[in-house]
């Protein structure tokens, strides 16, 4: 995956950022500001609304990827039933027995899932 493009006008030195932090914050409201140390970008300062949007998008992508992996595994299991393991084979007698003895209604579903 390639790195995101950075507008050279958005790159500032760490010493400038330290001396002119108010100005950096104002510019960050307009677009990301990148702080460089020894000619290498080290930090990005972004508006919180943009951060929130990026965070939510990342969470959604992670959830979609997780769900796609679950579907892939189910499809693989359906196509190759000879590879399936019983609970005892997968966990051993003791752990399987503990799981089988669990009260499934002990924990409410809303406590298990977001």
pLDDT per residue, tens digit, the chain (114 aa), is 888 889 889 999 999 999 999 999 999 999 999 999 998 999 999 999 999 999 999 999 999 999 999 999 999 999 999 999 999 999 999 999 999 998 888 888 888 776
Here the tokens at position 110 are: 């809303």
Q: Is the domain of 38 the same as that of 54?
A: no
pLDDT at 114: 64
What is the DSSP annotation of 9-51? Answer: GGEEEHHHHHHSHHHHHHHHHHS-EEEEETTEEEEEE--HHHH
What are the two backbone dihedrals, phi and then psi, of residue 11, each rounded to the nearest 5 degrees?
Answer: -95, 125
Residue with tokens 């669990």: 102
What is the DSSP annotation of 54-78? Answer: HHHHHHHHHHHHHHHHHHHHHHHHH
Q: Is the domain of 21 the same as that of 56?
A: no
Q: Is the domain of 84 the same as that of 98?
A: yes
Q: Is the domain of 55 the same as that of 90?
A: yes
Q: Is the domain of 56 the same as that of 30?
A: no
The verdict on residue 88 lying in a domain is yes
Residue with tokens 């992508």: 61
DSSP 105: T
Instruction: Report the distance separating Cα 31 and Cα 95, nearest Å.
Output: 53
The verdict on residue 69 lying in a domain is yes
Can you give the residue range of the structural domain that contains 20?
Answer: 8-46
Residue with tokens 């958005």: 10
What pTM value is reported for the model? 0.67
Q: Is the domain of 70 the same as that of 82?
A: yes
pLDDT at 96: 94
Strand, coil or helix: what is 59?
helix
């Amino acid at each position: 995956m390639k790195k995101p493009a950075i507008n050279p006008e958005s790159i500032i030195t760490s010493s400038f950022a330290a001396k002119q932090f108010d100005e950096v914050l104002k510019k960050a409201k307009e677009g990301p500001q990148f702080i460089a140390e020894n000619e290498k970008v080290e930090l990005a300062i972004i508006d919180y609304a943009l951060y929130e949007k990026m965070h939510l998008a990342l969470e959604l992508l992670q959830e979609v990827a997780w769900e796609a992996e679950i579907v892939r595994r189910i499809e693989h299991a359906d196509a190759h039933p000879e590879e399936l393991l019983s609970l005892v084979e997968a966990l051993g007698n003791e752990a399987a027995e503990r799981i089988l003895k669990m009260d499934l209604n002990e924990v409410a579903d809303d406590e298990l899932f977001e």
